[in-house]
Structure 1
Amino acid sequence: MKKTLAQLRRLTRDALNKQLYESAMFYADKAVSLQTAAAGGDRTDAVSGAGAGAGTGAGASTGMVTVAGTAAGVEMGLASTSTTGSGRVVASGLACHSAEGSALTPGLADDVFALATAFHATHQYQRAVHTLTRHGMLDRSLEARLLAARCLLEEALEMVGDDMSEMEQKVLAERKMMDFDEDEDEDEAGAEAEQVSVLEAGPSTVAAVCVLRARVYEEMENRDRAATWYLNALDADYHCVEAFEVIVQRQLLSLAEEAALVASLPFRDNEAWLEVLYKAKLNNKYGSSLADLNAAVQALGETAGVRLESNTDIVVARARAAYDAHALDDALRLARQVLAEDPYHAAALPLFIATLVELKATQELFRKAHALAEQYPDSALAWYAVGCYYYTVEDHGKARQFFSRATALDGNFGAAWLGFGHSFAVESEHDQAMAAYRTAARLCKGSHLPNLFVGMEYVAIGNVHLAEQFVRAAHESCAAADPLVLNELGVIAATQGSLTRARGYFERSLLVGGAALEPVLFNLAGVCRKLSDYTAAVEYYSQSLALRPRESSTYTALGFTYMLLGELDVAIEYFHKSLGVRPDDTLTVGLLQTALADVFTLCRRSTRRQTT
């Protein structure tokens, strides 16, 4: 029997690794049968011979519980069940017993868990829970309890509890007593030689349970509790990258809290590579620079021999740093480099889409959005990309439709809420825009952008006092100076009549963000003109035109500046260029008529002098 069991377990593991779940169910079922029969149990399980799990739908195979409104539908010895109001069947009596009095040995436990895992993979959730329940796994194995909770997500908190269980506390207490400075080679050899039973949970299992609790709270829109459990997951096992990435990507913490979190993680001496990768995910979010990242990666290669320069996470961090510095061409190049290797890289795609929007690369954005919607029709990111395309081509009604669809698929997707707000703001629907931005602010605690955009809406409706409050809140919440925030502070100062202070903000914005920010150049030129510094105004307007050569308002403003300088011929030339772009601009038409009248008046005066 031992040889047969060993062969069955080998076949089960091989089938699970190859995702041949029908085969895995077949062999795992036979392994469980052999052991329960040897223990004297009259086995009646949820699996029936070679036909185990012949279908994956509800009621597809013998013994499945039919959940579409029926009470139990039990034919093959299922434990007593109760039906929820939604028609979902939940195994009752979760303080489980061992099957037919048989002893739950580590080998049997692993076989039962493999069988339940195959059921879970084929969406036969009730069968998986029943299998674990009748073999007494839920009281003895944290791994089993986690799997059962994943099967019944709606009842997951009842399954794993809202607080740390005694089992989890015991695991963490044992971990604290362990010596983590064991020889690395010995650790590796032990990991290869010893296969830990499912009955022996480790810190990673506790972290997985914490992540599950956090996900349940996210579904309940209780983000504070979700953040707490994600932090508990990292406290249990700081190798739980899933918890860390959710905290960072969903911006559940403020910038200072994120920085403190990374600093608090107890990385070992030989895990400098992991610390660098964690910090790379936070790169530029708390003031670090691209130079800092490159220096850390280079030092890691020189001192530890770990070369990560071409790793996609590092390249994405570099692309993010370039995007934050408004070096959009570099950001696009680096994002393309990642997507060439992995076309659906989860961290690179949002950055790539945002960069294409900024550069108005509509054709490439259309292709990527179409590919995402085709490959991942249930993904919020796919419909966010479609919304970004329509926003870029200025079809704001359709953009709003697809941003709304993205938020319906993932209500925690902050970028989609911002896009939703933009689609209202561009059409001067200020109330709806601010409602979307406030939702994004609630979801993205670590981002200053929602407050900035709310402030911009208040500027647009003329409420400068509230605008200043929100923009200053955005300024205080970003560790590194954001040129867009400085630009808005300059706009508010100019609106309040503090032209010198406004000029200072605009100049700081250019200093931080480089000379590629066309709106800042335009605003700075306007302030210089009002301060009678016409030479500087002409220079900044000219730089603005170099970046956006088809902007009629810039031609008009430049022409008006030349009018103030007394160079009417040059002013008239720029007014004509402006009308060539936008013929129906009444302001430019009026200024052109004034300039022509002034020229006519000067010509008459010159003629009179000559005649006299």
Structure 2
Amino acid sequence: MCYARGTAYLQLREIEKVKDCFKEAFRVDVKCYDALVALTEKNMLEEKAEWDFISTLPYEEHCGLSDADFFRSRYMIQLKRYSHKEDIQQAQKEAENDFGLKKSLNVMHSIARTLLAECKYEECLSVCQEIRKEDAFYTKSIPLYITCLYELKMKDELYILAQELVDRLNDEAVTWHAVGMYNLYIEKYSEARRYFNRATDIDQYFEDSWLGYGHAFAAEKDHDQAISAYAMCSKLVPGSHLPDMYIGVQFLEQNMLDAAFVYLNKSYSKCNSDPFLLNEMAVYHYQKKEYPQALDHLRDALKLAKDRQSPLSNLWEKLWANFGHVYRRM
């Protein structure tokens, strides 16, 4: 009943009530897996709140001593991984080795998410392809697959995937997200926005398409519309720090530094371990001519990037260039 009530509030965009209902469903029954899916896939909770809540559920009381570790590991691999890389990897190993779930689509999906977070696009693509061999239309992993194709500039493969999804799953949000991403890649921005908008009409909580919608405005320097799209994403997907970060970037581009500071700080309060965000905060301090503070943020970003970003990450070029600018000014 708690889960059903939360689902109803989802339709009404009553986000706080949604979170309360799904959390209550867990307190009533830890095995209410649908509530976990809703909380994590809709990105309802900020990272710290998500980890604190899921890690302290009464697994032993509800699942028994023999099954508690099984449910705990299955749940942990669904969570955000900015500050908990080692915990996620440990949960993945337990699921694979202790419970024989190496070929589980959920476990493979978790591995792909970790790789994508580290910008290891080729490795993530390989895992997504393995998932597609098991289930070609496992919709949970298709957005990861789309991102990898986009970042690796595999235009033909992205077009073929989008066409296949249109033919087979034309009532799914991820289908029109794929079409939108293809149009974003070929710089047909108005077409991209049309398809991203169609995706969010099907699933109003689809974060990837809201961000794509904003990016398509940002690419044409339509700052107001981009900010509007990111702001709607932030409202509907309150657990993500990315919309606020992108709003901050839009204000930076307009040299509206006070507004940029508000949104970058808001993003930082949700996630303080994203090197991309720390780089943007360094840009803010650079524009304010606060070079020591900019250097501190760049060093923090570099420390995180060395641990979590692959050589293919597009962060490195930005990071080293910004180091050069800051040292030059100092």
Q: Report the TM-score when normalising by structure 1.
A: 0.50
**Match among 261, 279, 295 for residue 468 of structure 1:** 261
The 1:299–1:427 alpha-carbon spacing in structure 2 relative to 1, beyond 3 Å, is closer
Higher relative contact order (CA 8 A, sep 6+): 2
* SS class of match (1:531): helix
Q: Deviations over 1:218-275 (max 9, x none)?
A: 1222222222222222222221211110111101222222112212322221121111
- Which residue does the alignment assign to 2:234? 441
**Match among 415, 427, 432 for residue 220 of structure 2:** 427
The gaps in structure 2 that reach 5 residues or longer are none
The one-letter code sitting in structure 2 at the alignment partner of 1:276 is S
Counterpart check, 1:269 vs 2:29: no
Q: Decide whether the 8 Å contact of 1:507 with 1:524 is kept in 2.
A: no
Q: Deviations over 1:486-508 (max 9, x none)?
A: 11012112212233443443343
The worse-fitting range, judged by mean Cα deviation, of 397-406 and 230-239 is 230-239
- Which residue does the alignment assign to 2:77? 280
The alpha carbon displacement at 1:522 in A equals: 4.3
- Which residue does the alignment assign to 1:357? 150
The 1:522–1:236 alpha-carbon spacing in structure 2 relative to 1, beyond 3 Å, is closer
Q: Distance in 2 between matches of 1:300 and 1:276?
A: 6
* SS class of match (1:415): helix
Matches within 5 A, 1:41-52: none
**Match among 398, 406, 413 for residue 191 of structure 2:** 398
Counterpart check, 1:494 vs 2:286: yes
The 1:490–1:372 alpha-carbon spacing in structure 2 relative to 1, beyond 3 Å, is same
- Which residue does the alignment assign to 2:90? 295
- Which residue does the alignment assign to 2:8? 216
Q: Distance in 1 between matches of 2:191 and 2:117?
A: 28
Q: Decide whether the 8 Å contact of 1:297 with 1:308 is kept in 2.
A: no
Counterpart check, 1:408 vs 2:195: no
Q: Distance in 2 between matches of 1:419 and 1:319?
A: 20
**Match among 438, 446, 450 for residue 243 of structure 2:** 450
Q: Decide whether the 8 Å contact of 1:283 with 1:317 is kept in 2.
A: no
The alpha carbon displacement at 1:485 in A equals: 0.4
Q: Distance in 2 between matches of 1:255 and 1:308?
A: 25
Q: Distance in 1 between matches of 2:312 and 2:302?
A: 8
The alpha carbon displacement at 1:300 in A equals: 6.0
Q: Distance in 2 between matches of 1:499 and 1:520?
A: 19
Identity %: 25
- Which residue does the alignment assign to 1:521? 317
Q: Decide whether the 8 Å contact of 1:510 with 1:517 is kept in 2.
A: no
The 1:497–1:390 alpha-carbon spacing in structure 2 relative to 1, beyond 3 Å, is same
- Which residue does the alignment assign to 2:99? 306
Q: Decide whether the 8 Å contact of 2:9 with 2:17 is kept in 1.
A: yes
CA RMSD of aligned residues (A): 2.2
Q: Distance in 2 between matches of 1:522 and 1:294?
A: 28
The alpha carbon displacement at 1:277 in A equals: 0.8
Counterpart check, 1:531 vs 2:327: yes
Q: Deviations over 1:468-515 (max 9, x none)?
A: 221122122115x11110110121122122334434433432332245
The gaps in structure 1 that reach 5 residues or longer are 1-208, 534-612
Matches within 5 A, 1:3-22: none
Q: Report the TM-score when normalising by structure 2.
A: 0.89
Q: Decide whether the 8 Å contact of 1:499 with 1:527 is kept in 2.
A: no
* SS class of match (2:77): helix
**Which has more helix, going by share of residues?**
2
* SS class of match (1:447): coil
The alpha carbon displacement at 1:520 in A equals: 4.3
* SS class of match (1:282): coil
Q: Decide whether the 8 Å contact of 1:297 with 1:307 is kept in 2.
A: no
Greater radius of gyration (CA): 1
The 1:414–1:475 alpha-carbon spacing in structure 2 relative to 1, beyond 3 Å, is same
**Match among 44, 50, 55 for residue 252 of structure 1:** 44
The 1:522–1:223 alpha-carbon spacing in structure 2 relative to 1, beyond 3 Å, is closer
* SS class of match (2:124): helix
Q: Decide whether the 8 Å contact of 1:487 with 1:520 is kept in 2.
A: no
Q: Distance in 1 between matches of 2:315 and 2:322?
A: 11
**Match among 119, 144, 154 for residue 326 of structure 1:** 119
Q: Decide whether the 8 Å contact of 1:214 with 1:227 is kept in 2.
A: yes
The 1:426–1:234 alpha-carbon spacing in structure 2 relative to 1, beyond 3 Å, is same
The 1:301–1:294 alpha-carbon spacing in structure 2 relative to 1, beyond 3 Å, is same
* SS class of match (1:446): coil
Matches within 5 A, 1:188-227: 209-227=1-19
